[in-house]
Amino acid sequence: MKSDKEETMMTAKLINVEGSKIKIELTLERSRSMLDTEINIQKGLNEVGCIASKEALKYLDTDGSPLKIGEEIWKSKGEQPGVTFS
């Protein structure tokens, strides 16, 4: 039986950001178990989603200006020190 580290061996890596396009590479470890493979796919795609969301936030909130949604005005403090994305 494989260890937890071996079963979840995957890497999602930001390759390029050009304009509004983001290129992310995902490497997954296949398993002889379909369930383990599906779990690895899900974890890998979640990792890709975190990277894509981080880049989307950088792209969409460049100046920190307020957003108006209906009658509500939403404000951002911008990027704050100490906030990290994994």
pLDDT digits (tens, 9 = 90+) for 11-63: 999 999 999 899 999 999 989 999 999 999 999 999 999 999 999 888 876 56
Residues 23, 19: Cα–Cα separation, whole Å: 11
- Please report the pLDDT score of residue 80 as a whole number: 67
- 11 in a structural domain: yes
Judged against a pLDDT cut of 60, whether residue 70 lies above it is answered with yes
Task: Calculate the alpha carbon distances from 38 to 76, 78, 79 in Å.
Answer: 37, 36, 34
55 burial level (CB within 10 Å; 0-12, 13-18, 19+):
middle
Token representation of residue 22: 């983001």
Give the CA count within 13 Å in the CB-facing half-sphere of 7. Answer: 13
- 79 in a structural domain: no
Specify the number of domains making up the chain: 1
- 83 in a structural domain: no
Q: CA-based Rg of the chain, rounded to a whole angstrom?
A: 18
Provide the residue range defining the domain that includes 55.
4-74
- 82 in a structural domain: no
Judged against a pLDDT cut of 80, whether residue 6 lies above it is answered with no
